[in-house]
Structure 1
């Protein structure tokens, strides 16, 4: 006869309890009916018992955190911390699922941390799950993902976790160090993936860059030593419309390796070694002086094998010889010989170099080095070029259009730096100079004859079209100041005759007015050339926009700007005084505006203090009025296509005036949108539909206005935004604060006292809301400028709630005929590549 167990026996009850606790502790899921408490030491464990989620404290600290660590490894290392900046100060904390969110409650049942899921009701039961890769997921009963910890990394990148920009969800995944080795709260150091056209990592100390990884070269980030020598790690880099991310996976079982940013600011690769029972550091960065950002300044490179570390690139010399001798190369180098920009320049090949900072670059992945070199020579702003991808012998083209900085020798790739012919040591160039000298005298008479004949023909032509010329002695001074006022015409590409009711000003007059285009008279420089301040002999002060001879803006774009501005008359648009097409030059003459451009005030630490809220509000209204005139009230509807802070000029009364119409397009009254293959403009101000599909309309200008409005309010640039550990750019920063009800926290604190007046506070919040309406992702959701003017001018007009902003994350591949009204490094569409690299064992 089988004996019946005694279910009330104390040993049996104890055995059942042990089994229940063991089952509960080892479970990898967590439902709304369960909770974790600090005092019970309960945890959630992944299915293969690799990772563990629970509460912990460090050493003798009284602060408690919810975190994840390796259960399978005896030496505990915390790879994720939920409430790192909101610790529990008692051992009575609880983790629960509340209102479809994971929430940590303190001893008083007050929430201190939450997954903060908003938007949409989740009526089905919610379950949290810890996976074997260390990711915590929050799902509903339909297996729909609601939240995951991988989207919010702390200081550690785990296998399959992505670092970088998620365009679909609108946030940037970064690593931020612990404050100290004993304090998990957010430290000063962060690692961010710069999602430019040629992406690379930065390690930042607060807002200043400490280290740059070098761009992704098809195999790895070029200056991160050791990343290409770990055979069991597969590196993945993706750049597309959806994301710009970096991740890795391990193709060998039972290997545990992490990438972490420690509290001292070092990014390191750690792998667990079973034999030694310890974490082994495979590599770390920055590792030496040469890894410090810009340690050798512009046009200098660092080499740890040389005595002085800092060296000048061939064709350059130290900017400060005395400091250089003292081993301080931070001032950088300068050219020995100025570039000619007339096709006679050449290139010095620098082998195995860390490529320069990629802020001002243009990338075309469809061409090779030969075509890349030709394009660089044709662009006067080009300073260097290289392959974009070093695999299979090299492919693609990257061109630098700004100063070369933060380069180092050792372990990179070939870089071709542009030099004047005299600095190349080329015998052919020397021979050409000798030949040129020998025949110079022979052609002098011929040149004199051509000049004389040209002037005679010009005089006859002027008489034939009855051009009124002041009858006076043509002394040198009077010739240089001569202004011929007439109605002139030119032939467009369509062979149509276009008439320009503008003064044509002689080249000599402009040369004299600008002191022969002296560097001291330079007001600024853009992608098409330099703007000079000048003074005519009658005392009138002017601004002269001199297009570079190698500029991508041809006669058609030039005459387009002349034709457009000649027809525009508005207080908030810059006034064109004349133009010059002479001696192979193309120049525009504008009214001189004493306070230069808006960006020179808004983003300058000293000048920005002069922009109180009233001045900023007046500038916002002025820009809006100018844009409304272009879209609605001018004789022809005009889409500007390049509205930005540097294209808004300020007169002596700080009245804003929209300038630079080289990329503008005329629309018919019935037209709503157009499409172009040539996406031009400035990264950070371009609407998503224009950047990605080439579709532009009045709504693309509205988007640019919205970006500009938010920049004016915050005093921060949309491009190159590093101020937040969760935001890629200013738009996501403002959007997050707006959703959290903290809109006033984005306002420039320097000179805006929004606490002193309720009306001003309301006015500022209203402007933020208008800005967010203008930058909504879908063009049809954005208001027209007439509605914007109504909203700006009325405190009682109801304003709808904005939807999610659009984010522009990349730039356009280089096109042979592409142009821009800014420096080329600012062009933008989306560059789509996906690369998976497997390192050799």
Structure 2
């Protein structure tokens, strides 16, 4: 009996010892970390912030052999990293340890050699230091007896993400420059080529750069926001702050509501974007991003030129200025900019032109005085002969402060709303007083009224005399214009009697500058469609292509031949000469001119001009050195140069171009013929979507349309379009999905055969996807590559996105904005795909047969869909 208490006492001691041991083993999951503890990769332990918002630990992206120490969101189910410590010094295996050594956080590799350290030297530390992960996501080292004294913090060394309460910019006391640097790829945390940095010379603003080349500029802080982001609607849970003092020049933001996660990040593709976590959708929603269009490109329009995405071309000269080089501007090379029409006098007679709703010019060469207003600023500018323009430094409460530009006026863009006022200095000759202007308006009104009256009388007389001799209908249903005797001189240069038009076009107007003819529509509104597109001489095009020599031939499609040419000024061009035999030639010509002349995006081919001469109709494009995507992708020799990184960049470029057509352009454009041969590659392998002959414009409230003339390319057409003539944005998404899967597999969807007799590439991929063996059909070049750009996890993710795009039902397919988010974000949840749509038969004969017997549609004689196209 006497031994029982002893036994109970011994058991209690053992139990307490076990609990303490267990506590020590897992206490590392607390938010503090001391010198007596260590964190190893093999232990799989982490440090968690007090309210379990963020988590710190080791990770290896895409199950690679590289290990990193990072911070991610604890409560978000999809792993989203916000900071990486050893991004450029990964551990090569899982034998890594995090310790506090000599008052520093240090990562040791397997040989106990430091791979990364906080590099604190010296300092007055009176007690041991501890590391702590805060609920803001900030990892700090502090004095254990002084919680408010931070010896080091991760917020001073951002990677690709700006979190709430984190500052971006300069600490002028310590000399720390906090900037964002992109990941090299979505699953490679090492430093990429893109960075976002605050430039504090002149009037501070942020620049997004690709290495040393500036790509995008935020514009200066105007008291409310950055002047390049005028359309950004204020969110009630976000508060922005910009501080410019002698101690710091920084930008930050904070979130006023709990349980909301929002971050600013720089993607591996160079996209600066704000993302907010949507709990109901279990994904990150993109609220804003830049660069968004061509007008966001740095110095797009040169000195004294401004960019407006609602005009064509997008570059314009400020009033009082003219083109520096008319020829290069006509060819869409706008970098030369504009020059003054009249020189400044600097004797007090100069004045200022007020330009509204602008992104302010580049602020490197500026001086700022926040103590004066706009009137004093104007006087100060007039006294300085070097002053080119001025603006308010702060637009709140009617405006205050003064910013003066003494250098070039670069990188301006116009907005429909928002932006800021800029006052540009002009010579007196370019300024008009109100009295003179009113007199001119009155005089012009009287003159116009008289001219309209005379024109009406002449038109009535002409119509009565010549109403039966305007046009006649030919046996093939076309309309041929007759040269009108009384207007011979007017039409002399264009020989209109040889220009054939489809009768369906009679309702539309054309520009004299483009076609050499105005036609009056049947509607009551007599509007002229002004495209501002250069009309080039046939002789110049003939000289450029060596009289359309076969040696200059780049390729041939259903609507004609494409030639390489060199203009007299040395500029290389691509000339698309429309076939005279094609019944769709004129329709396609008109479509491309109307659409491409208005579309401005880095991933769309640029139309430089056109030529109409006798029966000839030609389109002149920028020449792209690497021809078409199919000439690389389906060529055994060239395909070896397409590693995964290049295919990754090409895929994302095509997606950006298609998103612009569907969402961000002035019109909603459905391409209808997206395929590998219609994607051209420039010298940097940047993809550009081409061939808009079959494209259609949608209204903003339209979602789909129906046609009895199904045009396009077998293998890329969606089922609802091929079978029922229904097309929509989802039709283009289907084509993109096919193209994405072709890029990954290196195989054509159309004409795909294998031993299992799969219907096409989509059927083969779907079978392998269900069997879990989809990597078997991936191009071996990107699977077998030993380079770091081969990322199996990312390839599988892209295949899944491609299969989502080619699902049989259009309503199941994602829109391009969702596709872009899935392509660019490793953390976005991607749903499982459903069965793809098969719209390609085993042979051309079988397809034609089924089409003619089962469906009453007019299948167009379109050689683009029925012939092999050479590289262009």
TM-score scaled to structure 2, two decimals? 0.48
Higher relative contact order (CA 8 A, sep 6+): 1
> When the two structures are superposed, what TM-score results if normalisation uses the length of structure 1?
0.49
